[in-house]
Structure 1
Amino acid sequence: MAIFGSRPEGIKMAPVVQALRRHPDWFETIVVSTGQHREQLDQVFAAFGLAADHDLAIMQPRQTLTDIMVRALSGLDELLARERPDLVLVHGDTSTTAAGALAAFYHKIPLGHVEAGLRTFNKYNPYPEEINRRIAGIIADIQFAPTPRAREHLIAEHIDPGTIFVTGQTGVDAALTVLAQPHTFTVPALRQVDFSRHRVVLMTAHRRENIGEPMRNMFRAVRDLVDRFPDVLLIYAVHLNPAVREIAWPILDGHPRILLLDPLPYPDMIHLAARSYMAMTDSGGIQEETPSMGVPHILMRETTERPEALEAGVILLSGTSYEGVYAAGERLLTDQALYQQMARARNPFGDGQASRRIAEYLGWYFGFTADRPEEFTPGR
């Protein structure tokens, strides 16, 4: 049983579900959506040709973290009691992840955690994701760590090394699959963008810990960057969270070279990222995807649970102050040597085979194959 509820989880779990379903003689794969992000998750299902076998439909307007956890845990408790899967799979760090892990634990069902072992060691940044990851990590029977660094974090927390398997990042699988397909933008506004005339900067910003003054600082800085560089066109896919939109529109709306859009269908988002000059986000997942496209990335956060990106030189960590965001943006827009260095850096997160490795590992785990599959090694 694969449980997910948000757009990022759906994107990163869709290739895993597809890989598992290539082995119908091994697995019956059941997909459960909590519906934590209703409209945005529906886009992912459509992009990957998937459908939920069970939909808890928990989303409510202006839901709190407590609302999400209580409704997800309650719905999953009833579902697990009825279905009794042999294994529950959760992904990453959302409230759905933590609820799925706890529900599996309460029913004494083995748990696999995809994208295990990412840490900032700051429980409030990212919030609540750092603690959601740790909850899943404590409970999981199988730790699918995306990188060797993630494995090291788990071992430092006294996780049995025999339960850890390094896979690479399933989000890279999803992005490379979509990029390999011919694509015409489905959003009309994107079809009007002249990529030969503008340096397009793709932006996303939605993190809960950034809502408020940090987000205002970020938005003021990017608006001033667009004013400073007349060839820059900023495209911001604005999260549906009303608290984000109430900050974004007063600062960014009305500028002739700032395009505010609703969240994009995943294929549009990936092909837009690939055609962009650079990305400026507070996202976790996009910083794993853009290195495969040769697109430098400014991460507008105070911390990152993906230090491999900093070490590989594929992102700049700007912080959330006006000065930090503006300086990082100005640097990438003026320093061509730095830009080319970042664009040519190797992606440390994956090679497009993570989902296959997970399916093969589970085939070995359940005794369908004799040999434990080979793990992901960055740079190989």
Structure 2
Amino acid sequence: MPHTLVPLPSPPRPGHVPEVCLVAGDAAAAVKVAPLAAAMRARKRVRPVLLACGDQARAAAEVLSGFGLAIDVLVELARDGQPTTCAAAQLLTGLDHAFADRPPDAVVVQGDSATAFSAAMAAFWRQVPVVHLDAGVRSFDLTAPFPQEGHRRLIAQVSSLHLAATPDASANLAQESHGGPKVVTVGSTAVDAGFDALDRYVRHNDERVQAVENAVVAGEVRLALVVLDEARVPDERAAQVLHGIADLVLACPDLEVVLPVARGALRHLAYDMLGRLVRVTITDPLPQPELVCLLSVSAAVVTDSATLAEQAPSFGVPALVLGGEPGTWSEPPALGHPWTAGPDRAAIARIAEKLVLTHVERRCATPTDNPFGDGFAAVRCEQAVQWLLGLRDRPSEFAPRP
């Protein structure tokens, strides 16, 4: 079979429990890796080894600890302003040493970050099977997003097992001749993480946020959750986004906005542009249980996070995902999928207002299935890794209902 180091599943050595290294390079990757690690620990057929690496390794470790998971290996990266190429070389060296010190039977990488690409290459050069979580995501444009689209395609070339979240992602892989049994449609582990986080929710640490949630639950106001990452939203684009949020608040008298954002340039800009609006609450980044709880009671979510966009349909919440060029926007291709818009003030305000105003109508309708997952993606992923290592039959696949 092409594109694989492991042509067919082969049984492990007698008495040997395979170790599978799960790599998380940032908080977003940690959210998606955590359910798989938990499933492996529960089943005990393979031993998960959690590796946090890169300049955001500490953030990944913090997220994993929220799921009750401790990292086993830490590969930190001190960038100190060095070029991306130098940082990547340093990361490759650290990962290679980690895989040499504790040789894994397989390495799981998630997404399309430089960390995921580096880990995949380090494993490939040591002839360790690579498992790609969230495989098959494509824009079909190597320049957008850059360099993530290139990372996606290159990781696919060295992967022995492709875990695609949706049938569309599997179809994208098929177009690149990655087909057959080594492509498994599993659903998104972000959905699993969302349900798990909601189960762990107790209350909000910020009393202002708790007051907003109480008012939403009482039916007194509606909520728009706005979640932005400064690394993905440059200042000039952030200004357009925040202008659109301000216009949204002014257009909807019963709307509250909660904006969790890290301390930095984006937070200063948010205070400058939204701080005088009484129905906007700017707070520190929220732990997963608090964030998912707010999402579950929102009228709409405006975000640049694919994770939130995949979790939102489970709670009947429409999403507006920010990305692309200014002035561009598009409607969802199917029910449960997000709207998309570039950093354009008018488009963001108009689409978000449309989503918020249809909230009551949606709540009265029959809930629809989440096209991105059913909460059992981690189980399928764990079973697929077992199958790759010769421990069981190939699992059944995720198929969203039309």
* TM over 0.5, shorter chain: yes
Retained in 1: the 8 A contact 2:313–2:336?
no
**Change in CA separation of 1:9 and 1:126 when aligned onto 2, cut-off 3 Å:** same
Matched, 1:229 2:252: yes
**Change in CA separation of 1:361 and 1:44 when aligned onto 2, cut-off 3 Å:** same
Matched, 1:74 2:90: no
TM-score normalised to structure 1 length: 0.90
The structure with more radius of gyration:
2
Match of 1:363 among 380, 386, 391: 386
Q: CA deviation at 1:181?
A: 4.2
Aligned to 1:37: 56
Q: CA deviation at 1:159?
A: 1.4
Counterpart secondary structure, 1:119: coil
Figure out how many residues of one structure are paired with residues of the other and give that number: 374
Q: CA deviation at 1:139?
A: 1.4
Counterpart secondary structure, 1:104: helix
Residue range with higher mean Cα deviation, 187-196 or 231-240: 187-196
Retained in 1: the 8 A contact 2:57–2:75?
no
Retained in 1: the 8 A contact 2:299–2:355?
no
TM-score normalised to structure 2 length: 0.85
Counterpart secondary structure, 2:306: coil
**Change in CA separation of 1:31 and 1:38 when aligned onto 2, cut-off 3 Å:** closer
Deviations 1:296-349 (A, max 9, x none): 11122238xxx9963124422233211211110222233468755998442101
Aligned to 1:164: 183
**Change in CA separation of 1:224 and 1:182 when aligned onto 2, cut-off 3 Å:** closer
Matched, 1:271 2:290: no
Give 1:18's aligned amino acid. Answer: A
Counterpart secondary structure, 1:312: coil
Give 1:192's aligned amino acid. Answer: A
Alignment of structure 1 residues 1-380 onto 2, 5 Å: 1-24=21-44, 26-38=45-57, 40-58=59-77, 65-66=84-85, 68-181=87-200, 183-193=202-212, 194-195=215-216, 196=218, 197-206=220-229, 208=231, 210-239=233-262, 242-302=264-324, 310-335=333-358, 339=362, 344-369=367-392, 371-379=393-401
Gaps of 5+ in 2: 1-20
Give 2:66's aligned amino acid. Answer: A
Retained in 1: the 8 A contact 2:191–2:372?
yes
Counterpart secondary structure, 1:350: coil
Residue range with higher mean Cα deviation, 162-171 or 50-59: 50-59
Gaps of 5+ in 1: none
Retained in 2: the 8 A contact 1:87–1:110?
yes
Q: CA deviation at 1:98?
A: 1.0
Residue range with higher mean Cα deviation, 107-116 or 154-163: 154-163
**Change in CA separation of 1:67 and 1:237 when aligned onto 2, cut-off 3 Å:** farther
Counterpart secondary structure, 2:60: helix
Retained in 2: the 8 A contact 1:314–1:342?
no
Over aligned residues, Cα RMSD in angstroms?
2.6
Residue range with higher mean Cα deviation, 87-96 or 52-61: 52-61
- C-alpha separation between the residues in 2 aligned to 1:212 and 1:153? 33
Retained in 2: the 8 A contact 1:122–1:130?
yes
Counterpart secondary structure, 1:311: coil
Counterpart secondary structure, 2:351: helix
Give 1:332's aligned amino acid. Answer: L
- C-alpha separation between the residues in 1 aligned to 2:160 and 2:398? 20
Q: CA deviation at 1:373?
A: 1.4
- C-alpha separation between the residues in 1 aligned to 2:145 and 2:360? 31
- C-alpha separation between the residues in 2 aligned to 1:236 and 1:246? 12
Retained in 1: the 8 A contact 2:23–2:50?
yes
Deviations 1:242-293 (A, max 9, x none): 4534543332333222111221111111111112221111111111001001
Retained in 2: the 8 A contact 1:15–1:173?
yes
Counterpart secondary structure, 1:29: strand
Q: CA deviation at 1:202?
A: 0.4
- C-alpha separation between the residues in 2 aligned to 1:203 and 1:64? 31
Q: CA deviation at 1:65?
A: 4.3
**Change in CA separation of 1:342 and 1:4 when aligned onto 2, cut-off 3 Å:** farther
Q: CA deviation at 1:200?
A: 1.2
Counterpart secondary structure, 1:260: strand
**Change in CA separation of 1:35 and 1:272 when aligned onto 2, cut-off 3 Å:** farther
